[in-house]
Amino acid sequence: MGKIRVLPREVAGKIAAGEIIERPLSVVKELMENSLDASSNEILISVEDGGKKSIIVKDNGEGIEKEDLKIIFRRHSTSKIETVDDLEKILTFGFRGEAISSIAEVSKTTIISSTEGRDSSYGVYFFNGEMTFIDDAPYRKGTMVKVEDLFYNLPARKNFLRAAKTENLAIKNFIKHFSLVNEDVKISFISDEKESLFYERVQEKKDRFYQVYGKDKIYNDFFEAEFDRGEYSFHGFFVKPGLEEYKRYPQLIFINKRVVKEKTTFQAIYSGYDTYLKKGVKPGFIIFIDIPPDEVEVNIHPTKAEVKLKNSSEYFRILRAALRNELEGFFLDKSSSSLNLTDTKASSYNFPKKGWDGTNFNGNIRKPFFDDIRQEKKVDSNSFVQKEKTRNLLLEPPSDFKIIGQYINSYVIIEKEGKLLIIDQHNADERVKYEKLIDNRENSGIKQVKPLFPIVFEYKTDETTEEKIENLKKFGWDIEMWGENSLSVKLYPAIMDNRSIRDFIMEYLDSNEKDDIEDSILKLMSCKAAIKVNHPLAKEEMESLVKALFKTRNPYLCPHSRPIIVEFSEDFIKKELKRK
């Protein structure tokens, strides 16, 4: 007799339900998404004991037809899909028809609903595989789903639920995220008969962003940006470039109104922020992405929490380039706006344009923007150096300054409006050369130098050397392999000098960089070509370097995200010298 058998329906149903319904949050998520699909603009969520005792979700949507209630608890019953082709263009949420059936398998479930034009409601109660119909229930427009005693028939799963406080927090966080992308929906959350969240309908995402995160938390650390690239549309809130604060900023991705995990988006945003945040600071972002539905594979995860993009490489390139442009625009006043809230009412926000024109600030950028981001962290009062290192480095670019001199042949010291600025000459020149290389490559091309005689040096080649040398051709290099142990440089970029050529080539060939190889080459070239520490500079050279630095798109961090400038205020100096 064979060993393989078909599981009974009740066993198979509970296994399938366990994949969809993991905890009370899963129930809330599925029901709220169904409410949204029903064109609701008001949703109320009420839970008891973190959702373990009961979960109620009410909406004012289209309702469920009476005859549909008879089959709503069957697996894969759905109004969203008719043919296989429909799977390629899904824009709704509860499309697989598993949510209600899965919830009913592991709880006592009641649904009361009414459609347009009826003067009474009707419903159904499902418990332990038995269905009871409810006629002429009290009238209310839309649908109410009540889920009681979750996992009553799966005690092992019920025992694995967390404390009510933990489950409640998970639900609350999801509702916040859900609210961010559905600003036109009124949402209420009641926990154990106490109102926990309430979001009135608003017209713009920036208003809902304010409602969710409030004025006194992270709001002023973000700027808003919106950009379209062909079939892709992006709108979001991004942490301001240059911040040093090690805060735990939100990182949320919404694709076609669904909060998801999608690794290509994370990679593109992190890469886009490269050189715009101090090393170790993670970029905060809330990004809303509209993408053709046939470009997204949603059905790869039981709860649809993860998605996969079909053309991820092109998407990565588009998003990274667009974000970098916005980050530059934040400083140069091209297109970005800084969030500046002065009113506590969600309907009366003011988001003024801010930025600078490359030499002087325009608009109202000094307050509150710089006051907010220049606050000192609390450090040991006896640590003079540490205090200044921990200051935020976003400074007004000097239009007039005085060169004081050079400190240990490594740092340029300037005076500007009563402030003392110390500039790391290597990091500054690295930033200048990095952006010059980018501009030259995109516009006129990288200028080359042909040495009188080829520059030959020893290097033991391997199977990767030839490919790596080929990568350098587009950056102004012409290098040949001389046997197995030597290289010959016939052309090199004009930005390099004889002393830096060998160091660059050796370090590049020894590296194992696989991601964003071209940008890594540009960074390494600028680093090797930049002015070194312990290198004396004439006054004219210092002036030229400072002027060039503040013409760059990001004069505060070098290409490797190291700080370039430290500021000492007059007040700070007086305080340290006990004059204040």
Span 466-514, pLDDT tens digits: 888 998 998 999 999 887 788 999 999 999 988 889 999 999 988 887 7
Q: How far is CA 218 from CA 124, 222, 243, 367, in A?
A: 45, 7, 12, 17
Phi first, then psi: what are they for 77, rounded to 5°? -90, 120
**Residues 37, 63: Cα–Cα separation, whole Å:** 10
Give yes or no: residues 160 and 271 share one domain. no
Residues 374, 394: contact at Cβ < 8 Å? yes
Q: Is residue 354 part of a domain?
A: no
Give yes or no: residues 308 and 229 share one domain. yes
Lowest mean pLDDT across 48-62, 75-89, 250-264, 369-383: 369-383
Q: Three-class SS of residue 368? A: helix
Q: What is the CATH number of the domain that holds 112?
A: 3.30.565.10
Lowest mean pLDDT across 293-307, 328-342, 402-416, 452-466: 328-342
pLDDT above 90: residue 74: no
pLDDT above 80: residue 459: yes
Task: Kindly report the number of other CB atoms within 10 A of residue 128's CB atom.
Answer: 10
**Residues 26, 358: Cα–Cα separation, whole Å:** 50
Question: Mean pLDDT, to the nearest integer, of 115-133?
Answer: 86
Question: If you count them, how many residues does the chain have?
Answer: 580
Q: Three-class SS of residue 24? A: helix
DSSP state letter for 88:
G
pLDDT value, residue 94: 46
Give yes or no: residues 165 and 270 share one domain. no
pLDDT value, residue 517: 85
For the stretch 164-183, pLDDT in tens is 999 999 999 999 999 999 99
Alpha carbons within 13 angstroms on the beta-carbon side of residue 61 total 24
Q: Three-class SS of residue 331? A: helix
Give yes or no: residues 506 and 526 share one domain. yes
Give yes or no: residues 158 and 275 share one domain. no
pLDDT above 80: residue 198: yes
pLDDT value, residue 102: 87
**Residues 90, 366: Cα–Cα separation, whole Å:** 47
pLDDT above 80: residue 124: yes
Give yes or no: residues 432 and 542 share one domain. yes
pLDDT above 50: residue 338: no
DSSP state letter for 242:
T
Task: Kindly report the number of other CB atoms within 10 A of residue 376's CB atom.
Answer: 11
Give yes or no: residues 312 and 391 share one domain. no
Lowest mean pLDDT across 79-88, 373-382, 475-484: 373-382
| Separation of CA 346 from chain center | 24
- For residue 65, what pLDDT band results from cuts at 50, 70 and 90? confident
Among residues 199, 231, 254, which one ends one of the domains? 199
Q: Is residue 356 part of a domain?
A: no
Q: Give the E-state strand segments of 140-250 in sequence order.
A: 142-148, 186-191, 194-199, 222-229, 232-239
Residues 491, 449: contact at Cβ < 8 Å? yes
Among residues 149, 177, 199, which one ends one of the domains? 199
Q: Three-class SS of residue 409? A: coil
Q: Smallest Cα–Cα separation from 25: which of 189, 254, 250?
A: 189
Give yes or no: residues 110 and 209 share one domain. no
Task: Give the mean pLDDT of the chain.
Answer: 79
- For residue 304, what pLDDT band results from cuts at 50, 70 and 90? low
**Residues 32, 167: Cα–Cα separation, whole Å:** 17
Give yes or no: residues 253 and 159 share one domain. no
Q: Give the E-state strand segments of 318-437 in sequence order.
A: 337-338, 354-356, 361-363, 402-407, 411-416, 419-424
Structural domain of 82: 9-199
**Residues 538, 542: Cα–Cα separation, whole Å:** 6
Question: Mean pLDDT, to the nearest integer, of 138-166?
Answer: 90
pLDDT above 60: residue 145: yes
Lowest mean pLDDT across 51-55, 281-285, 410-414, 510-514: 510-514
Distance between terminal CA atoms of the chain? Answer: 94
The dihedral formed by the CA atoms of 267, 271, 274 and 280, expressed in degrees to the nearest 10: 10
Q: Is residue 463 part of a domain?
A: yes
Of residues 574 and 94, the one with the higher pLDDT is 574
Percent of the chain residues topping a pLDDT of 70: 78
Q: What is the CATH number of the domain that holds 228?
A: 3.30.230.10
**Residues 416, 460: Cα–Cα separation, whole Å:** 51
Q: Is residue 2 part of a domain?
A: no
- For residue 296, what pLDDT band results from cuts at 50, 70 and 90? confident
Question: Mean pLDDT, to the nearest integer, of 90-110?
Answer: 72
Give yes or no: residues 161 and 59 share one domain. yes
Q: Is residue 351 part of a domain?
A: no
pLDDT above 70: residue 350: no
Residues 575, 382: contact at Cβ < 8 Å? no
Domains identified in the chain, total number: 3
pLDDT value, residue 580: 73
**Residues 502, 524: Cα–Cα separation, whole Å:** 12
At residue 444, what is the residue type? Answer: S
Question: Mean pLDDT, to the nearest integer, of 246-252?
Answer: 83
Residues 255, 289: contact at Cβ < 8 Å? yes
**Residues 23, 150: Cα–Cα separation, whole Å:** 8
Give yes or no: residues 183 and 160 share one domain. yes
Q: What is the CATH number of the domain that holds 450?
A: 3.30.1540.20
- For residue 417, what pLDDT band results from cuts at 50, 70 and 90? confident
Question: Mean pLDDT, to the nearest integer, of 242-248?
Answer: 66
For the stretch 509-537, pLDDT in tens is 888 877 678 889 999 999 999 999 999 99
pTM (two decimals): 0.67
pLDDT value, residue 466: 87
Helix locations, 79-140, DSSP H: 99-105
Lowest mean pLDDT across 152-156, 190-194, 388-392: 388-392
Q: Smallest Cα–Cα separation from 72: which of 117, 36, 125?
A: 125
Contacts of 420 (CB under 8 A, 6+ apart): 404, 413, 414, 567, 568, 573
**Residues 446, 448: Cα–Cα separation, whole Å:** 6
pLDDT above 70: residue 328: yes
pLDDT above 80: residue 345: no
Return left, alpha or beta for 442; rule: phi > 0 is left, psi -120 to 50 is alpha, else beta: alpha
Tokens of 495: 């930005």
Of residues 245 and 253, the one with the higher pLDDT is 253
State the residue for tokens 């942490």: 239
Task: Kindly report the number of other CB atoms within 10 A of residue 53's CB atom.
Answer: 15
pLDDT above 50: residue 221: yes
Residues 575, 292: contact at Cβ < 8 Å? no
Task: Kindly report the number of other CB atoms within 10 A of residue 350's CB atom.
Answer: 9
Task: Kindly report the number of other CB atoms within 10 A of residue 182's CB atom.
Answer: 22
Phi first, then psi: what are they for 486, rounded to 5°? -145, 155
pLDDT above 50: residue 354: no
Q: Is residue 3 part of a domain?
A: no
Among residues 171, 199, 227, which one ends one of the domains? 199
Peptide bond into 368 cis (omega under 30): yes
Tokens of 376: 């000192």
Task: Kindly report the number of other CB atoms within 10 A of residue 380's CB atom.
Answer: 8
Q: Smallest Cα–Cα separation from 44: which of 158, 148, 195?
A: 195
Give yes or no: residues 175 and 226 share one domain. no
Contacts of 362 (CB under 8 A, 6+ apart): 333, 355, 356
For the stretch 382-408, pLDDT in tens is 333 333 333 334 444 445 789 999 999
